[in-house]
Structure 1
C-alpha cells in the first residue's frame, strides 16, 4: 500500500481545538439520522454535553453518506441509561451505551480520560483501567473531558466533534487537514497506540482502503514489526474484524494489504503458509476471484454470507487433509471428509471464532460439491431443493472458472447445473437421464432389489 510523503511527525495534541463555524463546514442536521438527533437533543436537554463524533462527521466532510452515527458525551453510562428506556449497556473493556431504535442502534460513549489520572478518577467514579505486560488495554473505563477524549481517539480523522448546541465542528488533532491530504494518521506515538490495541493496525488498513486514503509513514512503520501483537486478540474479536475487512466492498484491497503488512496470517495461518509456499496452483486465483465477486455483490447491494468466503479460504487445505486421511487410513470418503472438516475447522477456530450458524453453511457448501456430481435418479432434484443449493452452485461455478484448463469435467458439470436451473420439469428429467447414462450410450440394467428381511425386534428399542 502506498504512503503519504515522509517528513511529518507523529501527531501531538494542539493546545485547543480548531473550531469551524457553521457556515464553513458541510455538516448539517439534514445529513444526520433522526434517531441520532433524538439522542443528541435529549442529552442536551438533560444538561449534558453531547457531540456527533468520529466517522459520522468524517464521512460528511468527505462527501460520503455515513452508515453509523456515534455520539460522545460527558454523561456516564448509568446516567445515559436513566434517560433512555431503550438503552442497553455493553462491554467490559469499553463500557458503552447502545440506544436501540428497532434495527437502528446509536452508540453513545462517555468521554475517555487519561490513564495517569486514574487514581483520582477512581475515587470519583469507581472505574478501572488495566493493561497487560505488552501495554494492551484490557479494561479502560476512565472518564474525562472532551479534550482528553480527543487525545484518546486513534486517528486524527476520527477526532472530529459536531455540536448540536452551536452547530460547530471541533477539530482536536488537525483531522480536517489530514482529510484534505487524504491520509490516515495516528494520534500520539504509533507504537504505543498499537500496543494499547493491536486492532488499530487493522483499522489503519481498513480506513485507508475504505476512504481511498494513504497511510502516513509514521503510522505505517511499526505495523510489520508489531504484527505479532495480533496473537493476543481474542478469536471472537478477530471474527468481527474479518467481517469489517471482507464484507465492506473492499475485500480484495484489504486482502492484499493484510498480506503486504504480514497480518493476514493471524486470520488464516494455514492459508498464508500455503500461499507463501505456492502449495496449490489455483489457490491465489480462487481467493482473488471470490473476493472480487463478493465486492461486486456488496457494491450492488446484493446479499452475501461470510460462510462463503470461509469456504473459499479453507477449500484447498480441506482437500489436502482429505487426501491425507485417504492415504493413511481406511476411512470411507464420507468419514474422511468429516475427519478433515473437524481438523481444519478446529485449527481455524483458534484464530477466528466462527459462529456455529456459519460453520453449518460452510459444511453444506463443501458437502454440496460432491452432491452436485451425483445426478442420477432423484438425486439431482433433491440437491436442487437443498436450502443452500445456490451457495453450493456458486461455489462450483467459481471452481470451474478457476480450474477450467485442468478440469474440463468440472466446467461441464457447472454448465449442466446452469442449464438445469433454467429448464422446465420435463426437460430436467431428460437431462438427468442423459447425465446418469455412462459414456458410450449403453444403459446399465438396474440392480434387483433384495426383499427386505422381516425384523421382529421392538423398533422403539
Structure 2
C-alpha cells in the first residue's frame, strides 16, 4: 500500500446507612449540576481500616442507599435485563446490576448496556436460560440472548479467579461485616473505576457503594479503585476505558489517575488489536467522538493510536489543552450530534471520516468540490446531479483553513469533476495508508520526531473493505439503489449494521453539516437533496 502524508509528502498523514442522594434534572449533566444536586450524608457505621504496610489508602466507608432515594426504579431497566434478573431471582440466586449501567441510571443517562452479576455459577446460569452461551477462556462470562438483545451475566465465583489483587488479599474482613457484604466488596475491589463499582439490587431496592463511587460521581471524578499505576499495570485496557468514560460524562480524572495515564500510555500497545478497535469504536461510535479525540491528544495517546491524526494536530500548532476547534474535530462534533449510547453507528463511518479528512489535509479542495464529492457519495455516484446542486449552495459554506480553499468561479464543470475524482482517489489512498504499518510509523517523523514510535494498525480488513465501498461509487459504477430525497430520517438499525446506503447518507450529512450552517435535512435553499 502506498504511503500518504501531508502537503504531498505526508498526505493523510449488612449494617449500613440509608441516605437520600441524587436529584437530577434530565438536562443536567455538567460537573456543576452534579455537585449542586448531590447530597451524601455520613454513614451511621464506618467499616474503614487504617492503611496497611503496602501503603494503600483507607478503604472508603461502606454504604447502602435506598434505590428510590437515588431516583432509581425497575421501570428504568430494559426488558431483556429485567428478564434475566427475574429468572435468576426466581431460582433462588442473588442478582445485581453492576458497573456502568448503575452509574448511568443514577446520572439519569441511557446506559449503553446492562450487566448482571449473580451468585449462580456459569453452568447454573446456562441451565436457567434456553439461549445462553459461555464465552471467554481466561475470565468466562455468559451471554444470555433475550429476543434480539444480549445480556452479559458474570458470576461471583468466576470473578474471584481474576488474578491476584494484593489490596483485596491484604484486607481482613471486618468483624461487623457479614459474608454477603464481604463478597460484594471483594467483587467491587476488582473493578476498574470507583464510579463503576456500584451494585443495584432492584428487588431489595438498594444500591451498595463499598468504594466511594457516589462521592466520585458527586465530584465528577474518574478514579481507579486501587492505586492507578497498579490498576493500569493489571489491565491496560482501563486506560482507554477511562478516556471513554471521562469523555462521555465530561468528568475529570483524579490526580493520580491522570498521571498514571500519561506515564503508562505505552501500555496500550500490549493490547490485542481487536480489543483496541473495540475500545476505539466505543469512543467514536456512540456520541463522544470529539471529546474522546481531545482527551486522547491531551494524554499523549493519539500519537500511539492514530499517529496520522496526531501529526495533523501538531502541524496546526494544536496544544494539548487547546480549546480551539478545527475541521477534524468539527466533523466528529457533527457525528456526535447524530449518535447516542443507544444509537451507535458502524465503525466504518468514523473510519471514513478520518480518511476523508486526512485526504483534505494532504490535498486541500474548495467548498464546491467537497460539497459535490459528499453529494455524489450520497447519490450513489451521480456526479452531474451532485455538481448541479453544489453550484447552488457552495457560497454559503463556512471557512476552514487550510483544508477548504476559495472557489475559482471560472472553472468549468469538467475541471471541477476531475477534482472530485482526484479527491475520491486521495481518500482511497489515505485509507490505504492508515492500514499500512510503514506509513503509520512515518506519520509523526516530520512534525513530532520525539513522539513514541507507533506503527499500530488496528483497522480490520472487513472495515477497510466497507469504507472503500462507501466511496467506490464516486468515479466507479453508479449505484442504482440510493435513498430517496424525501427520506431524511436516519435508520439507526441500518446504520449500526453498516448498510451502504445509510453509511453514505450519514457521511454526506456530516460533511455538509460541517460546511454549512443550515442542516441539509431541513427544507431551505441549501437543501442538497
1:229 aligned onto 2:267: yes
Whether the 8 Å contact between 1:89 and 1:95 is mirrored in structure 2 is yes
Q: Which has the higher helix share?
A: 1
Within the candidate set 74, 92, 96, 2:119 is matched to 74
Whether the 8 Å contact between 1:184 and 1:208 is mirrored in structure 2 is yes
| Closer, same or farther: CA 350–107 of 1 in aligned 2, 3 Å | farther
Q: Deviations over 1:88-118 (max 9, x none)?
A: 1112242111111122121111122263489
| Closer, same or farther: CA 312–337 of 1 in aligned 2, 3 Å | closer
1:115 match: 163
1:354 aligned onto 2:392: no
1:152 aligned onto 2:190: yes
CA root-mean-square deviation:
4.2
TM-score (norm 2): 0.58
| Closer, same or farther: CA 298–199 of 1 in aligned 2, 3 Å | same
Whether the 8 Å contact between 1:208 and 1:215 is mirrored in structure 2 is yes
Whether the 8 Å contact between 1:159 and 1:173 is mirrored in structure 2 is yes
State the alpha-carbon separation in 2 of the partners of residues 306 and 35 from structure 1.
25
Within the candidate set 239, 259, 270, 2:297 is matched to 259
| Closer, same or farther: CA 315–75 of 1 in aligned 2, 3 Å | same
| Closer, same or farther: CA 351–85 of 1 in aligned 2, 3 Å | farther
Whether the 8 Å contact between 1:50 and 1:74 is mirrored in structure 2 is yes
| Closer, same or farther: CA 290–93 of 1 in aligned 2, 3 Å | farther
State the alpha-carbon separation in 2 of the partners of residues 239 and 320 from structure 1.
24
Whichever of the two has the greater Rg, that structure is: 1
1:442 match: none
1:209 aligned onto 2:247: yes
State the alpha-carbon separation in 2 of the partners of residues 337 and 183 from structure 1.
39
2:200 match: 162
Runs (5+) with no aligned partner, structure 2: 1-30, 36-50, 170-181, 318-324, 364-421, 441-453, 484-499, 517-525
1:167 deviates by 1.8
State the alpha-carbon separation in 1 of the partners of residues 101 and 220 from structure 2.
17
TM-score (norm 1): 0.66
State the alpha-carbon separation in 2 of the partners of residues 230 and 271 from structure 1.
18
1:97 match: 142
Q: Flag the structure with more relative contact order, 1 or 2, with Cα contacts below 8 A and sequence separation at least 6.
A: 2
1:32 deviates by 1.8
Whether the 8 Å contact between 2:287 and 2:335 is mirrored in structure 1 is yes
1:88 match: 133
1:303 deviates by 7.3
Q: Deviations over 1:117-159 (max 9, x none)?
A: 89xx9xxxxxxxxxxxxxxxxxxxxxx9322111001111111
2:405 match: none
Whether the 8 Å contact between 2:232 and 2:239 is mirrored in structure 1 is yes
Whether the 8 Å contact between 2:119 and 2:155 is mirrored in structure 1 is yes
Whether the 8 Å contact between 2:116 and 2:153 is mirrored in structure 1 is yes
Within the candidate set 300, 320, 326, 1:285 is matched to 326
Q: Deviations over 1:419-449 (max 9, x none)?
A: 6x5xxxxxxxxxxxxxxxxxxxxxxxxxxxx
SS at match of 2:134: strand
State the aligned residue count.
362
Runs (5+) with no aligned partner, structure 1: 122-143, 323-332, 372-378, 405-416, 422-461
Within the candidate set 1, 12, 19, 2:64 is matched to 19
1:47 deviates by 3.0
Larger CA deviation: 266-275 vs 47-56: 266-275
State the alpha-carbon separation in 1 of the partners of residues 287 and 425 from structure 2.
37
